[in-house]
Amino acid sequence: MVQFSGFDAQDFDVFAIPDFHDRMFHIRSRIRPKLAQLGDDVAPKLSTLGHPMYPHTASHARRRVNPPDDTWVAFSRSARGYKRYAHFEIGINHEEVFVRFVVKPEGTDDKPGLLQLLKVNGIEAFQALQDPEPIYWYRDDHGRDPMRIADLTPEAVSHILKETDKKSRGFTLGMVLNRANAVVRSAQLVAASANMITHLGPIYRATVAEDAAVGAHG
Instruction: Give the pLDDT confidence of 151-183 residue by residue, as tens digits.
Output: 999 999 999 999 999 999 999 999 999 999 999
Closest CA to 87 of 211, 3, 212: 212
- Region 113-138: what's the mean pLDDT? 93
- Tell me the residue type at 94: H
In this structure, is residue 3 part of a structural domain?
Answer: no
Judged by phi (left if over 0) then psi (alpha if -120 to 50, else beta), residue 177 lies in beta
| pTM (2 d.p.) | 0.93
- What distance in Å separates the CA atoms of residue 96 and residue 118, rounded to the nearest whole number? 29
Order the strands of the 96-103 sheet from edge to edge: 54-57, 70-76, 87-93, 96-103, 171-178, 136-138, 147-148
CATH of residue 148: 3.30.930.20
CA pseudo-torsion sign 20, 3, 182, 46: positive
In this structure, is residue 1 part of a structural domain?
Answer: no
Q: How many domains does the chain have?
A: 1
In this structure, is residue 212 part of a structural domain?
Answer: no
Task: Give 87's strand partners.
Answer: 102
CA pseudo-torsion sign 17, 22, 24, 27: negative
Binned at pLDDT 50, 70 and 90, residue 217 comes out as: very low
In this structure, is residue 97 part of a structural domain?
Answer: yes
The answer to whether residue 63 scores a pLDDT higher than 50 is yes
- What distance in Å separates the CA atoms of residue 21 and residue 61, rounded to the nearest whole number? 13
Decide: helix, strand or coil at residue 200.
helix
In this structure, is residue 182 part of a structural domain?
Answer: yes
In this structure, is residue 215 part of a structural domain?
Answer: no
CA distances from residue 33 to 16, 40, 51, 54, 216 in whole angstroms, order as listed: 19, 11, 25, 16, 22
In this structure, is residue 167 part of a structural domain?
Answer: yes
For 182, the domain range is 9-207
Q: Per residue in 138-156, pLDDT tens?
A: 988 888 889 999 999 999 9
Binned at pLDDT 50, 70 and 90, residue 16 comes out as: very high
In this structure, is residue 113 part of a structural domain?
Answer: yes
Closest CA to 198 of 50, 7, 35: 50
